[in-house]
Chains A and B, each alone.
Chain A
Amino acid sequence: MSIKDEIIFSSGGRIRDTLNLIGNDEFEHFEELRFRTGCPAFVKKSNGELFINTNGNITKRPVNSFVPEKEDIDTFIRLLSGYSVYAFEEEIKNGFITVQGGHRIGITGRTVLKDGKINSLTDFSGINIRISHQIKGCGENILPYLFNGQEVFSTVIISPPGEGKTTLLRDLIRLLSLKGKNVSVADERGEIAGSFNGIAGNDLGTHTDIMDGCPKNEGMLMLLRSMSPDVIAVDELGGYEEIRSVELILTSGVSFLCTVHGSDMQDAINRAGMEKSLCMAYFKRFIELKRSQNHINAVIRDESGRVIGNEAIR
């Protein structure tokens, strides 16, 4: 299934009709699609933001732009959930739904609070479709840095949002799996495997086990107990409970591969909420992704923060 087919399959209403007019190849270059009530629709590509017009053309100027109405956003979300908004209550509470292919649909609207906590989202006002790209081979240059003989170093991939952390993580999982390592993935948001009805949409290799839709901290421990993994991988690590689970995994002799939002190694350690000494003791590789023009560079550091490599990702 092409990216366009996956998005069209998940969407509905006028938004789907407009997206359907866009060429198949165009979708391969999209990073994000944004629809806000009463505003022109945008598409984000690596070279900037462009407008989507009513004929499905991508233009630099907002001429004859497609402007979604509230009903379009409502219909889109209703059809996105397969008329089952209730089934996505937890995901909507977190502000996004992941669809077939691992594409993340961010949702904004009016929050419904219960006891001061977000209970749900209603009166939807905008959607942001983040296109998931599987770029096979993008981690090949990085892979040698992750090995110490047969042992896999526990590694953190660091970058700001939208710089390719998940794409690199996905490929490293695939490459490790193809090297015969049993990789277990706690895929809470379904972005790594892009699972749909239990079937992974992305190729994660032959030795990969996926726990889909499970909270990371619980999923990691379940996988540790049940699947005897060589490597456990998760996306976007953070929060007290997840860090406690990671500490348990790291002390059990299993390698750990994760991504963390941040600008550099120090920032990532602070954000993840780990003690620096503990982090240095268990994590042996820190990969910082830096975007420049049309390509992304990976700066690889060891546990002391020393740069041991600088590789191009794509």
Chain B
Amino acid sequence: MTFKMFGAVLIVFSSWVTGFIFSMNSRYRLDDLEELKKAVTLFINDAVNISMPLSSVFEDISKRVNGAMSKIFYDASVIAKKKSEKNAEDIFRKAVDINVSNLYFRWEDMECLYTFAKNLDCSFKNQQKDNALLLIDNIKAIEEEVRQKAQKEQKLYNSAGVLCGILISVILF
């Protein structure tokens, strides 16, 4: 009996963990969005206010953000230094393509990344700044949406995990 009880607890716990892991996807997505927002803010400072060359901007951002976003900006700085691409958009897209598997982004988040890439080739500082600020607003809106969804999902997946665990335990009992 003790053995069965221990097994049931183990099943409930593992299914709860599975539910928890599912619910964390939105959290990781939020973290990536937060890092992207930070990167765009840093971009305004480095590129628009200090007029740093793009490769240095990418390198600086890569040191100051975390996770996959840091890797994207690092790879972009390496590609930019090689001067092999025709424009900055191609550089950033290439860096994103290399690291896309490490991101928790959905298509609307990817759109933000590609919009950022597209704006990189703009020749005017004011326009660069306006585009970046617009992008930050967009990211904030997506974040808010994801945050609300994440709260709901967390409850849903946690409860579903526990309930599934109980169901399996009852069936096996």
Contact = CB atoms under 8 A, between A and B. Distances in A.
Instruction: Tell me the interface secondary structure of chain A in the complex.
Output: helix
Interface in A52-108: 75, 78-79, 81-87, 89, 92
Given A13-B86, A75-B86, A86 B122 contact: yes
A19 B158 CA distance: 64
Nearest to B129: A86
A158 B45 CA distance: 42
Contact of A82 (B54, B121, B125, B128): B54
A177 interface: no
B2 interface: no
Contact of A87 (B47, B83, B91): B47
18 contacts: A75-B86, A78-B87, A79-B83, A82-B55, A83-B54, A83-B55, A83-B85, A83-B91, A83-B120, A84-B47, A84-B51, A84-B52, A84-B88, A85-B121, A85-B123, A87-B52, A89-B123, A122-B123
B51 A87 contact: yes
A12 interface: yes
Contacts of B86: 13, 75, 78
A83 B47 contact: no
Contacts of A89: 123-125
Contacts of A195: none
A171 B48 CA distance: 36
Contacts of A122: 123
Contacts of A83: 53-55, 80, 85, 87-88, 91, 120-121
Contacts, number: 54
A120 interface: yes
Given A82-B54, A86-B124, 5 more contacts: A78-B87, A82-B80, A84-B52, A84-B57, A87-B53
A74 to B, nearest CB: 9
A122 B124 CA distance: 10
Interface string A107-123: 00000000000001010
Given A83-B55, A86-B122, A86-B123, A12 B47 contact: no
Contacts of B54: 82-84, 87
B70 to A, nearest CB: 20
Nearest to B50: A87
